[in-house]
Structures are given as structure tokens and as C-alpha cells.
Amino acid sequence: MPTEPLILGFDTSAAHCAAALVLGGKLLASRTEPMTKGQAERLMPFLQEMLSGAGVTWRDLSALGVGVGPGNFTGIRIAVSAARGLALGLDIPAVGVNGCEARAHLAPDGSRCAIPAPRDMVYLCDAAPSPAAIPQLMPADTAQAIAAAAGQMLCPEIPPHRLAEAIASIAADRWQVTTQPPAPLYARAADAAPSRHAPPVILD
């Protein structure tokens, strides 16, 4: 069993499963699998493979870190639900890390973080991202103009495995003081909407 804190961070907020292990503040392993669907079925085996490959078990974990969005509505719920369930079963903390915080952890100085969204849109992060800050959804060229006006540039998009590494690293700093379970960070409403058609008549 590791003598230093072992943190598993993971993210499914976009078209991927990504995970990283941090031991005593140092990166132990990270991996990613691109996928546009099937994250709900793949996530747990994916995490198990990550642990087995590093020679550790679920019971060796000190805490979890999970990406809470913004991003794909379903993907966010998959990861957050998994983190909450694992935290309950293992009796360890789970730390929610939003996408702006994770990117800021890796972004070069003088840059402004933005999270890709569909249809040439981005979620523009605050200049100093915080756990509760909700980024603004806007066209990518508008975000670039806002950053340029402040003498900044938009940071390049972070590969998923690096995103997971940042999530694990941030969780490693917070797990001992975290008191609330992770919750999804939605910057916009879900695309799904109630049907416009009248419901069918139920016959007795």
C-alpha cells in the first residue's frame, strides 16, 4: 500500500475517457481513450486498467478528482456519478474540478483559458478561475477579441490526458479540506427538450 497520498483523477466531459494517477504530488501514470459514445460502459473498466497497470488497487486510493464541466451534458453526469459512487463505496473524498481550473493549472502565463463547445463556440473562463465560477458561452472569435483587448491570448486546447493530470494534481491539493461531493457545472441548459406533441391518451 502506498505510504503517500494516491489520487485518481478522471474526466469524460468531452469525446474521451481520460485518467491520471498522482502519488505524493508526482505523476504516476496517465492515459486517454477517444470516444464519441459508450463512456458509461467503458469508464469503470478503463479506470481499473489504469490502476492495475500502475500496480495499485481501489483500496490504495486516498481520494478522487473528477472533471465537472462544462462540456458534454451526458459525459459530465457519467463522471460525476461515478466519482460520487466510488467515494461512497471506498469511504474517501471526491473533489470536483471545473474545466477552467484544470486548464489554468497548465496554461502558459499571459493566456486566457477557453473550453471548446459545439458550433464554433467556446466557454470563456474568468481571468482567475475559481471552483464556482461559471464560464461564458460565446463565439470563438468573440472570445479571442476579448482576450486580445486584455493583452492576452487564448491558451491552446489541452490534450485529455493532460487535463486528467491537472484534475488529479488539483485534487491532491484539496482532498483533505473538501467537504462537499462533486456536482456538475452546467454553463448552459441541456440540448434535450420536452416533446411539442401532445402525450398519447392512456386507455383504461
Instruction: Say if 25 falls within a structural domain.
Output: yes
CATH number of the domain residue 113 falls in: 3.30.420.40
Residue whose entry in the numeric block shows the C-alpha cell 483500496? 59
Task: Give the C-alpha distances (Å, rounded to integers) separating 7 from 19, 92, 119, 132, 185.
Answer: 10, 10, 35, 22, 21
Return d(Cα 115, Cα 137) in angstroms, integer.
9
pLDDT digits (tens, 9 = 90+) for 63-92: 999 999 999 999 999 999 999 999 999 999
Count up the domains in the chain and report the number: 1
pLDDT digits (tens, 9 = 90+) for 146-170: 999 999 999 888 999 999 999 999 9
| pLDDT of res. 192 | 45
Instruction: Say if 197 falls within a structural domain.
Output: no
Structural domain for 66, as ranges: 6-174
What are the cell numbers at 191? Answer: 440540448
Instruction: Say if 71 falls within a structural domain.
Output: yes
Residue whose entry in the numeric block shows the C-alpha cell 486566457? 112
Instruction: Say if 200 falls within a structural domain.
Output: no
pLDDT digits (tens, 9 = 90+) for 5-35: 999 999 999 999 999 999 998 999 999 999 9
Instruction: Say if 151 falls within a structural domain.
Output: yes
Q: How confident is the model at residue 1 (pLDDT cuts 50, 70, 90)?
A: low
| Strand 121-124 relative to strand 136-139, pairing | antiparallel
